[in-house]
Structure 1
Amino acid sequence: MTIIFMTLLSILTQIGLNQYSSKKDFKIDRNSQIYAGLLNAIVWIVFVFKHPYSLNLLLVCLAFSILSSIFFIDLKYHIIPNEYNLALFILAVVFVLNNSQYWAVFVKGGLYFLLVFGLIFVLTKQLGLGDVKMSVSLGMFLGSGLLLNYLLVTFLTGACVSILLLLLKKKKLKGHIAFGPYMVLAFFYLLLN
């Protein structure tokens, strides 16, 4: 019963996000909407099999819905909408409050992620401010202990895909590549392991 409920909720959440984005300047095409919906449903089901139903599970799954939309929006428009970052942050705050015995670990995670990604933003000008904002919420979900793992997975994934795009001549050396999708992939990877 939980699987059916979570699958339906994931689909409804993704439909709502798709409709919202279609009313804004960051409309994602139909295929990307379908991919986001399928990815979302699959991950929700995997989470349900790996973890007992709880408020934490629901919050992480809802965050995943937002992140799957961010993945496709940033890939296409090189922007992470403030509305999505705000919704993600609210979910992260509720997650921290629901895990009050570990609140310091999760709050430090958000602060450490902000510090690291903020420094990268200021020093290199290669990240967008949306990436920095999103990092706070991701850090609050992951906690301070996963910062180094997160950075390693994010930058390795970004580097491998960038090299592949250069070799395939899909991007030029001076071209801009959205970083948000790699941040999202690293978050998913760490949550699933």
Structure 2
Amino acid sequence: MYILIFAIGFIIGILLNIVIESISYNIIENNKKIGSIFIPIICSLSFEVLFLRLGFTIVLAKAIVMTSILVIISFIDLKYRIIPDFMVIIGLIMGIMLSFFIKSSFTDTILGMIFGGGTMFLLSLVPNVMGGGDIKLMFAIGSFLGLKKTLWAIFLAFALSSIVGIILILFKVKGTKDYIPFGPFLSLGSFISLLVFM
């Protein structure tokens, strides 16, 4: 089963790579490859970890869908500082739809969306703290994670971004006023939250 999950992850990663390149070419008008072999490897390893933690369940399917969407968004945001609206909409729709297949999940889904997106919106009121794409992304993430895991995801995202930011500044890779995409940290925080806070 582990080999099968790894293979599925690798194949999905290849497909996600194609999607990312398509978005890069058609929407951002850039045909540079930005994912290459890293995406299939990331997907394979991520899916293996999810399988070990969640087992062969509907929750695993939901987690794989969320992870796949976040991989696309993270690579696009890292390269172009853009979170495509249509990917957020797809994530939001999928999160809500899949919640109907999990007992007592729909209410938690709505709460996750409200508190996740709402928290990010309040933070965006502080100048130069949060972008509109991050707010919309957190609505979508909330639809997958529910209330508790969404709040942890936000906390972890800020903690991870602070640590990485400090390291980059110390090694003079970035300056104190340089922009660091926050989408990948939201994605990573969400993935960790999903694994830890069951």
The reply on whether 1:79 has 2:82 as its aligned counterpart is: yes
Q: Which runs of 5+ in 2 are unaligned?
A: none
1:65-99: CA deviation from partner (whole Å, max 9, x where unpaired): 22122222211211111232122212211222122
Equivalent residue in structure 1 for 2:127, among 124, 128, 132: 124
Q: State the TM-score, normalized to the length of structure 1.
A: 0.88
Residue identity over aligned pairs, in percent, reads 26
Cα distance in 2 for partners of 1:24, 1:99 equals 31
Q: State the TM-score, normalized to the length of structure 2.
A: 0.86
Cα distance in 1 for partners of 2:82, 2:11 equals 24
The reply on whether 1:114 has 2:120 as its aligned counterpart is: no
Question: 3-state DSSP class of the match of 1:37?
Answer: helix
Paired letter, 1:150: A
1:5 is displaced (CA, Å) by 4.0
- Structure with the higher fraction of residues in helix conformation: 1
- Aligned CA RMSD, in angstroms, stands at 2.1
Q: Which runs of 5+ in 1 are unaligned?
A: none
The reply on whether 1:140 has 2:143 as its aligned counterpart is: yes
Cα distance in 1 for partners of 2:52, 2:31 equals 30
1:104 is displaced (CA, Å) by 1.3
CA contact (8 A) 1:109 1:144 kept: yes
The reply on whether 1:149 has 2:163 as its aligned counterpart is: no
Cα distance in 1 for partners of 2:174, 2:59 equals 39
Aligned to 2:40: 37
The reply on whether 1:160 has 2:171 as its aligned counterpart is: no
Total equivalences in the alignment: 192
Higher mean alpha-carbon deviation, 146-155 vs 175-184, is at: 146-155
CA contact (8 A) 1:18 1:28 kept: no
CA contact (8 A) 1:96 1:107 kept: no
1:7 is displaced (CA, Å) by 2.9
